Structure 1
Amino acid sequence: MSRATPIRDGAIIAVDWGTTNRRAYRIEADGRVGDAIRDDRGVLAMAADDYPPALAALRARLGDLPVIASGMIGSTRGWHEAPYVAAPADLAALAAAALRIDDAGLTIVPGVSLLTATRADVMRGEELQVLGAIAAGLAPADALFCQPGTHNKWIATADERIIDVTTVMTGELFALLRNHGILAGMLDGVVADGPAFRDGIARGAGTCDLGSALFEVRAGVLLGRRTPDDAAAYASGVLIGSDVGARAVRGQTVHLLAEGALADLYEVAIEMLGGLTVPVDATAAFLGGVHHLRSHLSE
C-alpha cells in the first residue's frame, strides 16, 4: 500500500460498493466506527474515470486513509476485476486473494464462487458480511444465512468458512412480472403480510410447477377467487414460498442478514414453513468483516 498508515494497524475507510448504492465508513484501529457516508454512487452510476475522484472525495470527508472496498467495484462492471475465491473460503482466503491498487491506496475484496459437477454460483459483497457476522460473534461458525434482495442469497458456513451459496432471482422475477407480460397491470397493489401473501407462500412452497402457480394469479382475479388488490401480495408469496420451500428450512435456524419490508416477508415465509429466524445486523456484519479481514492482510 502506498500510503504511510499500515492497513493492518491504523484507521481505514471501509466501502460497501454495490450495484446501485455505496456505503463508506471510517473504522478506527480498535474497530470503532466514526463518520459514515451513504449515497447512490453504486457502480452503475460510475465510469472508470470516476473512481479516482470518488476515492479522493471519500478521503476528504473520512480521512486520508487506506481504503478497503468490497462488492461490485471488483466485478466486470466495476473499476478493477478481483477474481473470485473458490468455496470453501474464509477471511484469510479473501485477504490472500485481495486485489491491491497501490497508486490508489485501495484494496478490493474478491467475491466467492461455487463450481460443482451440477451447479455454478457467485457472489460479491455478501461473503464479507457472512464471515464478518461470524467473526463479530453475531452468528455461529456453522450456520445457514439468508440475504434477501433482488437476487436472494442462501449461504451455508462450516468452521467459519463459506461452503455453499445459492442465488435465487426472486426479486428480479417479481419486478419483471410486475412490469412486463400478462401479469403487468395486475401487480400494482401493496405487498405485505396477510392472508393473500400467506396463501401464496403455501402455493409456492407446495409446487414444482412455478409457472402454473404464477398464472393462477391472473386466473384467480378473472374468476373472482382473489381481489385485484391482493394479486401482488399473492404473487410475491408464491415466489418467496417457492424460494424458501426449496431450501427445506423446517427445523433449521436461518440467520437473516437484512432489514426492512423484504426481510420481514422472508421471516414470515421461513417461520411459516417451519424454520426459526435470527436477525443479523447487515451493517455490523460488514464492519466486523472488514475489521477482522485486515488482520490477515500483509503490509
Structure 2
Amino acid sequence: MTAELIAVDWGTTNRRAYVLDGDGKVLRSERDSKGLLAVAPGGFPAELAALRAELGQFPVLMAGMVGSAKGWVNVPYLSCPAGIADLAGALEWCEPGRTAIVPGLADPAGDVMRGEEVQLLGAVAAALAPPDSLLCQPGTHCKWARMAGGRIAGFSTAMTGELFALLKEHSLLADFLTGPVSDGPAFRDGVRAGMDGRLPGLLFRTRAAALLGRRSAQDSASYASGLLIGNDVGGAAIAREEPVFILADPHLGQLYSAAVAIAGGRPTLIDSHAAFVSGIARIWKASQS
C-alpha cells in the first residue's frame, strides 16, 4: 500500500487529515485544532506545508471552510443538483496538479454548504445510503439533504446546535441548562412538544417548569435540547416509515435517531468519517481521469 493523496477536512474550529492510498484506503489520520479560526490571514500555505512535512509530500485535496471567503481561496459554490463528477470538474487548484479545494454547494432556495457535500456523496458512493434517500448531518448547523440518483438534489440547514449553545451561554435559561443531555423521558417529551411548533413559548416554559417543580432543573437541558431537535426534525417532512440516514457521532446520532423515530421515520446511523473518505477519494479519482 503506497500513499498517494492527503485528504483534508478543514473546518471552522478543527482540521482532520487522512493519508490515502490509490484505492482510497486510510493509511494514517490526524486531527488537530488548526481550523479556519486558528489560521492567520494568508497563513494557509504555511499550514499546509507543515502538514506535508509531517504526513508526506503528496498531492492534497481539501474540503470545507478552507474554500470560504475567510479561507485560502474563496471558491465559488456549485448549484444543486450536483454529483461527484460536477465537484471534480470544478476544483480550485491552488497549485496546479498538486493542491486543490473542493467547491461547496448552493441550493436554489437560498442555502449553502462547504464540506458536507463530500460526506453526502461519499455516503452514497460507499453504499452506506441508497442513491435516492434522505440524509441528515446533525451538528452546529444541521443539514438535511435529498439525494436523487446518487446526486445532491437539494438541501436545507437548521441552526439547531448553535441555538442550543447560545441558550446555554447567553439566555434566561442558562442557569437551568447545566445538566447533561441524554436520550430519556425529558428529551423525548421535548421532542414531541417541539414537533408541535410554538418553540419560543415552549423554551420559556422550560425555565418555568423547573421553578414550579414540574420538571427537575437537572432535566432541563435534555428537555430544551429535545425541543430544538424535535422542531428541526419536525420541519424535515419525513414520511411515515421513511428511512433517514444520519451522519453523526454516536451521542448526537442517538438523539437524532430517537427524534426521527418519534416523527415516524426509520433512522440509520452511519459513519461520517468513512463517508468523507469515500467522497474525497472518488472526487480526486474523477479529477484525474
- TM above 0.5, yes or no, is yes
- Contact 2:122–2:277 (8 Å) recurs in 1: yes
Over 3 Å counting, the alpha-carbon distance change for 1:140 and 1:103 in structure 2 is: closer
Aligned partners of 1:149 and 1:171 also within 8 Å = yes
Match of 2:266 among 271, 276, 283: 276
After superposition, the Cα gap between the structure-2 partners of 1:196 and 1:11, relative to the gap in structure 1 and judged at 3 Å, is same
> What whole-Å deviation, never above 9, does each CA across 1:133-191 have from its counterpart, x for those lacking one?
11122111111111110111101110111011110001111111111121121111111
| 1:11 match | 4
Number of the residue aligned with 2:184: 194
Count of aligned positions: 287
Partner of 2:284: 294
User: AA paired with 1:45?
Assistant: A
Structure 2 counterpart of 1:60, one-letter code: A
Instruction: Report deviation, 1:121.
Output: 0.5
Report the alpha carbon displacement of residue 33 of structure 1 after superposing the two structures with TM. 1.4
Distance in 1, matches of 2:7 and 2:41, equals 20
**Distance of 1:196 and 1:133 partners within structure 2:** 32
Shift of the alpha carbon at 1:266?
Answer: 0.6
Q: Is residue 216 from structure 1 mapped to residue 205 from structure 2 by the alignment?
A: yes
Identity rate of aligned residues, in percent?
50
CA contact (8 A) 1:98 1:108 kept: yes
Partner SS for 2:143: strand
* TM-score (norm. length: structure 1): 0.92
The reply to whether residue 228 of structure 1 matches residue 221 of structure 2 is no
Which of residues 42, 46, 51 is equivalent to 1:58? 51
Structure 1 spans left out of the alignment, 5+ residues: 1-8
1:245 aligns with 2:234: yes
Residue 45 (structure 1) aligned with residue 43 (structure 2): no
User: Does the CA contact (< 8 Å) of 2:3 and 2:27 recur in 1?
Assistant: no
Runs of 4+ aligned structure 1 residues displaced above 2 Å come to: none
* Corresponding residue of 2:135: 145
Instruction: Pick the aligned partner of 1:170 from 131, 138, 160.
Output: 160
TM-score, length of structure 2 as denominator length: 0.95
Secondary structure in 2 aligned to 1:191? coil
- Contact (CA 8 Å) 1:13, 1:24: kept in 2 or not? yes
| Cα distance in structure 1, aligned partners of 2:15 and 2:161 | 20
Partner secondary structure for residue 100 of structure 2: strand
State how far apart, in whole Å, the 2-side matches of 1:10 and 1:185 are: 50
SS of corresponding position for 2:75 = coil
Q: For 1:98, which of 91, 96, 110 is the aligned residue? A: 91
For 2:36 and 2:153, the matched residues in 1 are separated by 28
Asked if the contact 1:200/1:237 (under 8 Å) is kept, the reply is: yes
Contact 1:113 / 1:122 at 8 angstroms: preserved in 2?
yes
SS of 2:245's equivalent in the other structure is strand
Q: Distance in 2 between matches of 1:22 and 1:60?
A: 16
User: Which residue identity lines up with residue 173 of structure 1 in the other structure?
Assistant: L
The answer as to whether partners of 1:202 and 1:238 remain within 8 angstroms in 2 is yes
Secondary structure of the corresponding residue to residue 11 of structure 1: strand
How many Å apart are 1:103 and its aligned residue? 6.4
Residues 104 and 80 (structure 1), Cα distance of their counterparts in 2 relative to 1, 3 Å cut:
farther
Looking at structure 1, the residues matched to 65 and 103 of structure 2 have their Cα atoms a distance apart, in angstroms, of 9
Residue in 2 aligned with 1:5? none
Matched with 1:80 is: 73
SS class of match (1:185): helix
The answer to whether the 8 A contact 1:52-1:104 is kept is no
**Separation in 1 of the partners of 2:22 and 2:188?**
47
2:247: which partner in 1? 257
Consecutive unaligned residues of structure 2, counting only runs of 5 or more, are none
RMSD: 1.6
- 1:158 counterpart residue number: 148
Structure 1 residue 224, shift from structure 2 partner = 1.7
In the aligned structure 2, how far is the partner of 1:112 from the partner of 1:154?
13
**In the alignment, is the contact (CA less than 8 A) between 2:44 and 2:71 conserved in 1?**
no
**Letter of the aligned partner of 1:189 in structure 2?**
G
User: Offset at 1:298?
Assistant: 4.5
Structure 1 residue 105, shift from structure 2 partner: 2.9
Partner SS for 1:204: helix
